């Protein structure tokens, strides 16, 4: 594989990483296609299944999906109370008034799981990843500038900050995937042991798979970027960069003119002719 193909392939890895980050964080925010199926856990009501009660609550990072008989509503839940969610659900359902006494407990439990059990490590990972990619763009742009000591120091600083942000983001992504997997398994186990509970809590594998995919693509991207922006001796290079040492780019300051050539060689004068001989 040529250096140009490797560089382009590495940069393209950022696209699926952003897609997996976005899908994981927008689960249960709306009823768009596939979004309600991305959640960390769901709470099922196994006691009362009338038309005025909630049958199931799906829990995402910033939203919840509530299932009734023949209907599914999704709405953002960040910063809201169970009472505010219940009022929003009553306003969005047609000709159905949700029983507060039967549904408030499910919403309270869903908010506790969302805010106190599942830690938003993935949000931090996505933010750090975005900052790292933006700083890489700034680093790449710096290679179009004229080479001098100030630009070189700036490149070193941006490179260190970019790689630090990306590696920390990768670590947070791995920690989030592991924690979600462990927490959903623990909730499944507690529900199985406590068979007398009114609610059954089960995990969902879709979100966990998306997080593992985000970790895999992020790791490959960081490894590729680390091999592109390498340090060789006391210089910082970019694989495939158009800037080379000693070259000038368009728009840079032109080189000073060459010194004038030396004066032409002056021939040495001929010696004077010898004097004529004296007469005898």
**227 contacts 240 by C-beta, under 8 angstroms:** no
Q: How far apart are CA 104 and CA 118, in angstroms?
A: 20
Whether residue 245 is contained in a domain is answered as no
Whether residue 275 is contained in a domain is answered as no
Q: DSSP state, 53?
A: S
Cα→Cα distances 233→108, 148, 230, 237, Å: 59, 16, 10, 10
Whether residue 249 is contained in a domain is answered as no
Is the model's pLDDT at 116 over the cut of 90?
no
- Give the torsion sign (CA, 24, 25, 28, 30): negative
More confident residue, 20 or 71: 20
**152 contacts 168 by C-beta, under 8 angstroms:** no
Q: Where are the alpha helices (DSSP H) in 39-120?
A: 82-92, 100-112
Q: How far apart are CA 181 and CA 173, in angstroms?
A: 12
Whether residue 50 is contained in a domain is answered as yes
pLDDT value, residue 82: 81
Whether residue 139 is contained in a domain is answered as yes
- Render pLDDT for 150-175 as a digit per residue (tens, 0 to 9): 777 888 888 889 999 999 999 999 99
- Render pLDDT for 226-266 as a digit per residue (tens, 0 to 9): 888 775 544 455 554 444 444 444 444 556 677 776 666 66
Domain residue limits at 171:
4-231
Show Cβ contacts of residue 15 under 8 Å, excluding neighbours closer than 6 positions.
none
More confident residue, 67 or 49: 67
Per-residue confidence at 213, pLDDT binned at 50, 70, 90? very high
Whether residue 44 is contained in a domain is answered as yes
Residue that has been written with the tokens 């593992």 in this structure = 212
- Render pLDDT for 125-146 as a digit per residue (tens, 0 to 9): 999 999 999 999 888 887 776 6
Whether residue 59 is contained in a domain is answered as yes
Is the model's pLDDT at 223 over the cut of 90?
yes
> How many domains, in total, are found in the chain?
1
More confident residue, 61 or 99: 61
- Render pLDDT for 79-96 as a digit per residue (tens, 0 to 9): 888 888 888 877 665 555
Whether residue 238 is contained in a domain is answered as no
Q: How far apart are CA 201 and CA 190, in angstroms?
A: 8
């Amino acid at each position: 594989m040529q250096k140009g193909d490797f560089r382009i392939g590495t940069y393209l890895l950022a696209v699926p990483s952003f897609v997996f980050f976005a899908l994981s964080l927008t689960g249960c925010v709306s009823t768009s296609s596939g979004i309600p199926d991305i959640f960390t856990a769901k709470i099922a009501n196994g006691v009362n299944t009338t038309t005025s009660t909630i049958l199931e609550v799906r829990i995402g990072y910033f939203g919840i999906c509530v299932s009734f008989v023949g209907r599914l509503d999704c709405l953002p839940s960040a910063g809201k109370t169970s009472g505010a969610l219940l009022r929003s659900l009553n306003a969005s359902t047609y000709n159905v008034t949700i029983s507060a006494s039967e549904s408030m407990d499910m919403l309270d439990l869903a908010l506790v799981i969302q805010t106190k059990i599942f830690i938003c490590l993935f949000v931090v990972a996505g933010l750090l990843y975005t900052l790292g990619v933006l700083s890489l763009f700034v680093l790449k742009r710096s290679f179009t500038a004229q080479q001098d000591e100030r630009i070189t120091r700036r490149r070193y600083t941006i490179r260190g900050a970019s790689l630090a942000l990306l590696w920390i983001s990768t670590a947070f992504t791995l920690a989030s995937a592991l924690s979600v997997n462990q927490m959903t398994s623990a909730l499944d186990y507690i529900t199985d042991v406590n068979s007398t509970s009114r609610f059954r809590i089960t995990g969902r594998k879709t979100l966990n798979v998306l997080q593992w995919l985000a970790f895999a693509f992020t790791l490959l991207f960081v490894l590729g970027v680390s091999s592109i922006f390498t340090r060789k001796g006391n210089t910082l290079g970019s694989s495939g960069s158009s800037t080379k040492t000693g070259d000038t780019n368009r728009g840079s300051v032109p080189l000073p003119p060459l010194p004038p050539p030396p004066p032409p060689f002056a021939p040495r004068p001929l010696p004077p002719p010898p004097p004529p001989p004296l007469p005898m």
